[in-house]
Amino acid sequence: MDEIERVRDFNRYYTRRIGVLHLGGDRPFGEARLLFEIGAGADLRDLRARLGLDSGYLSRLLRSLSTQGLVTVTPRPGDARVRTAALTEAGRTALADLEERSRASVAGLLAPLTPPERDRLLRAQAEIHRLLRLAAITLTPVADSSPAARACLRAYASELVTRFPEGYDADGALLPPGTLHDGTFLLATEEETPVGCGLWQRFSDGAAEIRHLWVSPAARGLGLARRLLTALETDAAGHGVTTLRLGTHSSLVEAIALYRSAGYQEIPPYDDSPYNQLAFQKLL
C-alpha cells in the first residue's frame, strides 16, 4: 500500500470514528455552528463572512434560533443597516450544553486509554497538525514592494528591534521597496495571511545573497524556515546562481543552526552591516 493509499485509509477511519462523535446534538448542525460562532455577539455580515453563508439562509437560521428564544437580533446602534446577533441567557446555556456534550463524547473516546496512551495520541495529533499546516502554506514570488511583502518586512524589523541588544535600524538595514531587481522575494502564505518571507538578490560579482528570512511567530516550529530557504536556493539556482551568501546576527541562534544544517559554511563577513556579525556561504 503506497503513501497516498495509507493517508486515504487513515482519513476514512478517522472520519468514520469522529463522525460518531457528538457534533450538534439534536440541533441541526448549521444552527449549532451558528450558536458557536455568535458567541459573545456578532454582526450578521461578519457571521456571513466567517461561515460563508448566503444572506437569506443566515436570516432564516437566525429566525429559527430567535423563535427558540436562543438569540436576539437587533439593529446595531449607529448603523441601522447592520444587525447584530447576541445570545440570550437560554442561548448561552444551550451553547454550554452543546460544548459539554461534545466534550463528553471526546472524553468517552479517550476513557479506555491509559495516561501514557493518551499522551501518545495527543503528540501524534500535534505532529499531524504541524505537518498539515506546513503542507498548506504556499510560497509565491511577489514584488518586494507589495503590501504583503512590506508587512512581513515590517514585522521582521520590529522583531529584530527587540531581539538585538543594540536594537535594529530598519530604515538603514531593510531592503527599500522596489529595489529588488535581480532576485526573488518569496512570500509564505497560510490561508490567505502572510506568515513568512525571504529573498535572494544577486551581487555584482555574480554570487547572490539571501536576506530577510523570517517566519511569523504564529508559524514557528513547523519547519517553514527550512522550506523557505530551500525554495530560495532552488529559485536562485534556476537563475544561474552558484554561490549563495548570507549574513546574520550572532543572537539569532536558531537561524545559525538552520544555516549550518542546510550546508552553509561560515566565512569571514563580506559586508560592513553591523547586524551581520556572522557570514555563511553555500555552493549550489
- Enter the C-alpha cell of residue 191: 490561508
Distances (CA, A) of 248 to 143, 198, 212, 240, 252: 23, 13, 10, 24, 7
71 binds DNA (CB under 7 A): no
Q: What is the DSSP letter of 284?
A: -
How large is the angle between the packed helices 29-38 and 89-110, nearest 10 degrees?
110
Taking CB under 8 A as the rule, does residue 218 contact a copy of itself?
no
From the list a copy of itself, DNA, none, pick the one residue 50 interacts with, judged by a Cβ distance below 5 to 8 Å according to partner type: none
**Pick 34 or 139: Cβ nearer DNA:** 34
* Phi, psi for 11 (deg, rounded to 5): -60, -45
Evaluate whether 216 touches 189 at the Cβ level (below 8 Å): no
Asked if 135 touches DNA (CB under 7 A), the answer is: no
Q: Does 54 bind DNA (CB under 7 A)?
A: yes
Give the contacts of 178 (CB within 8 A, at least 6 positions apart).
Answer: 143, 144, 145
Which of 50, 60, 76, 103 touches a copy of itself (CB under 8 A)? Answer: 103
Q: Which does 22 bind (CB under 5 to 8 A by kind): a copy of itself, DNA, none?
A: none
CB count, 10 Å around CB of 150? 17
Out of 49, 96, 128, 253, point to the residue binding a copy of itself (CB under 8 A). 128
The item of a copy of itself, DNA, none sharing an interface with residue 29, based on CB under 5 to 8 Å by kind, is DNA
Question: Would you count residue 45 as binding DNA (CB under 7 A)?
Answer: yes
Q: How far is 65 from 35, CA to CA, in rounded Å?
A: 8
Smallest distance, DNA to C-beta of residue 59, A: 4
- Contact status, residue 190 vs residue 225, Cβ threshold 8 Å: no
Question: Which residue, 208 or 224, is less far from a copy of itself as judged by CB?
Answer: 224
Q: Is 44 in the site for DNA (CB under 7 A)?
A: yes
**CA atoms 137, 143, 145, 146: torsion sign:** negative
User: Nearest 5°: CA angle at 225, between 223 and 228?
Assistant: 115
62 lies in the site for DNA, by CB under 7 A: yes
Q: Contacts with DNA in 219-248 (CB under 7 A)?
A: none
* Among 2-10, 75-83, 86-94, 169-177, the segment contacting DNA (CB under 7 A): 75-83
58 or 208: CB nearest DNA: 58
Q: How far is the CB of 18 from DNA (least distance, A)?
A: 16
Cell numbers describing residue 195: 506568515
- One symbol per residue from 9 to 38: x for binding DNA (CB under 7 A), - otherwise; what is it? ---------------x---xxxx-------
In terms of phi and psi (left: phi > 0; alpha: psi -120 to 50; beta: otherwise), the region of 240 is: left
The contact set with a copy of itself (CB under 8 A) reads 3-8, 10-11, 13-15, 17-18, 21, 102-103, 106-107, 109-113, 117-118, 120-122, 124-129, 131-132, 134-138, 223, 227
Interface residues with DNA (CB under 7 A)? Answer: 24, 28-31, 43-45, 48, 53-60, 62-63, 73, 75, 78-83
